[in-house]
Amino acid sequence: MSAVPNEMQSPGPGAGQAASDWHAPSVASGFAPPPPPGARVDRTRPTTVQEALDQLTVEIPGARGAILASVDGFTLASSSTLPHDPAHAAVLAAANGLALQLVGLTDGQQLRQLVVDHDQGLLLMWPIGNKRVVALLTVSNVDQARLRGYVRAHARLLAGDS
Amino acid sequence: MTEHVFKILVTGPFAAGKTSLIQSVSQTTVVSTEVDTSGDESDVKPNTTVAMDFGTYAMDDGAIRLLLFGTPGQPRFRFMTNILKGDVDVVAFVVDAEAKGTHAAAGVELRSLLSDLEVPAVVAVNRCDDPGVAAKVARRLGARNGERIVPCQLVDPDSGVDVVIEILTTLLESMDDEPFEVATDTGETAPADGQQSDRVEADVA
């Protein structure tokens, strides 16, 4: 596992080479579909949300796609493995809104995740701060700890306050 | 005592006052899915409904109960309206009289909703005190003749009750209508439809 700190080390966009000493974990064979032609998948530390989501689908076996949405239903980024459909973000926002209500129904204070377990796999939705959610489309037996580790390591970038 | 439960769909464009209406009249804790707005919409208001509002209004010791289902207003959440609109008894369509820029799209939405659901509607014209102005706004939306139109100020908690009264009146009227609809059902099919009879004649010729 890498020991690179969460914070971006490079001063600005275009300075991606600064993190070139960081080695991406090798792509495990089998699960992840190859990136579509033209997809820009950077093996260095991602500097944009788009890059982070694309890298996630490559590095985590069984992660098919990822969408970052605002809680009010706008797409902020989605991995190149998914067709862009504005409705996805709106559906995620509505689901998040209802999930928050369900948390309140059972005296909870904080939504940690929404899991949709279906015949083709999982949809995991996690809040990123209180203004964004990330949704991950995966196979059923994805390594959730690893997925969570990846998202946590890029949380600042995904939250938009890096 | 029989309990009459009616489902009311509270809909209309973004920032019209749908959540305010439900919050002002509901007698039970409102289920609301408001979150922070972002982008251009945050210039209009800080919060917005992303899934639904739910409130209730009962009268006559619960003999009549209204279940108020509020929708989000933005077109990107239209799927929520489609989920919520099943088995609706009355549509309460909220529109902001002053937000004239929303009226054209609101009119399209109102007309398609009514032709789809075939239920009576109440048009609540928010930020409006004058019945004449409210009627003009409703006409601009292309309301048919049947809708009840009510001017209201939904920031004022008492004003929402005016809308509820119109909803109840509409329900009473539609209950009165029902036997007649059944009676006229058979006589209405063939002669009224001009296009259809033209086509029949063409076939004969």
d(CA A28, CA A57): 11
- Show residues of chain A in contact with B79, CB under 8 Å: 87, 90-91, 94
In a domain? residue A1: no
In a domain? residue A19: no
CB burial class (10 A; 0-12, 13-18, 19+) of residue B12? buried
Confidence of residue A44 (pLDDT cuts 50, 70, 90): confident
Instruction: Give, to the nearest 10 degrees, the angle between helix B131-140 and helix B103-117.
Output: 70
Q: What is the DSSP letter of B139?
A: H
Please give the CATH number for the structural domain made up of B4-204: 3.40.50.300
Does A95 have pLDDT greater than 70?
A: yes
DSSP letters of B58-111?
A: EETTTTEEEEEEEPP-SGGGHHHHHHHTTT-SEEEEEEETT-GGGHHHHHHHHH
Mean pLDDT, residues A86-98 taken together: 96
Instruction: Give, to the nearest 10 degrees, the angle between helix A49-59 and helix A144-153.
Output: 160
The CB-based long-range contact list for B76-83 (8 Å cut-off, 24+ gap) reads: B76/A73, B76/A74, B76/A86, B76/A87, B76/A89, B76/A90, B77/A73, B77/A90, B77/A93, B77/A94, B77/B50, B77/B51, B79/A87, B79/A90, B79/A91, B79/A94, B80/A94, B80/B51, B80/B52, B81/B9, B81/B11, B81/B113
- Show residues of chain A in contact with B76, CB under 8 Å: 73-74, 86-87, 89-90
Check A94 against B74: CB less than 8 A apart: no
Q: Structure pTM?
A: 0.78
- Here the CATH number for the domain that contains residue A148 is 3.30.450.30
d(CA B67, CA B7): 5
Residue from B14, B30, B35, B41 to probe the interface with A (highest A Cβ count within 10 Å): B35
List C-alpha distances in Å: B30 to B54, B113, B160.
6, 24, 14
Number of structural domains chain A divides into: 1
d(CA B102, CA B98): 9
Structure tokens at A157: 């970038």
Q: pLDDT tens digits for B116-167? A: 999 999 999 999 999 999 999 999 999 877 899 999 999 998 899 999 999 9
Distance from the A98 Cα atom to the nearest Cα atom in chain B, whole angstroms: 6
- Show residues of chain A in contact with B35, CB under 8 Å: 71-72, 93, 96-97
Q: What is the pLDDT along chain B (205 residues), one digit of tens a residue?
A: 678 999 999 999 999 999 999 999 999 999 999 999 999 999 999 999 999 999 999 998 889 999 999 999 999 999 999 999 999 999 999 999 999 999 999 999 999 999 999 999 999 999 999 999 999 999 999 987 789 999 999 999 889 999 999 999 999 988 776 554 444 444 444 444 444 444 444 444 3
Which residue from A74, A96, A100 is facing B38, i.e. has the nearest CB? A74
Decide which of B69 and A86 is more confident. B69
Check B76 against A87: CB less than 8 A apart: yes
In a domain? residue A134: yes
d(CA A95, CA A101): 10
State residue B37's pLDDT score. 96
d(CA A43, CA A40): 10
Decide which of A8 and A156 is more confident. A156
Residues comprising chain A, all counted: 162
- Show residues of chain A in contact with B73, CB under 8 Å: none
Domain spans of chain B, in order of start: 4-204
Report which of B138, B157, B177, B167 is spatially closest to residue B9, judged by C-alpha positions. Answer: B167
Identify the helix (H) or strand (E) that includes residue A126.
Answer: strand A121-128
- Show residues of chain A in contact with B48, CB under 8 Å: 72
How many A/B residue pairs have CB atoms within 8 Å? 60
State residue A161's pLDDT score. 74
Report which of B55, B56, B19, B22 is spatially closest to residue B37, judged by C-alpha positions. Answer: B19
Give the range of the structural domain holding residue A58, as residue numbers without chain letter.
36-159
State residue A34's pLDDT score. 62
- Beta-strand pair B121-126/B148-152: parallel
Backbone phi, psi, residue B20, to 5°? -60, -40
Does A23 have pLDDT greater than 90?
A: no
Check B72 against A74: CB less than 8 A apart: no
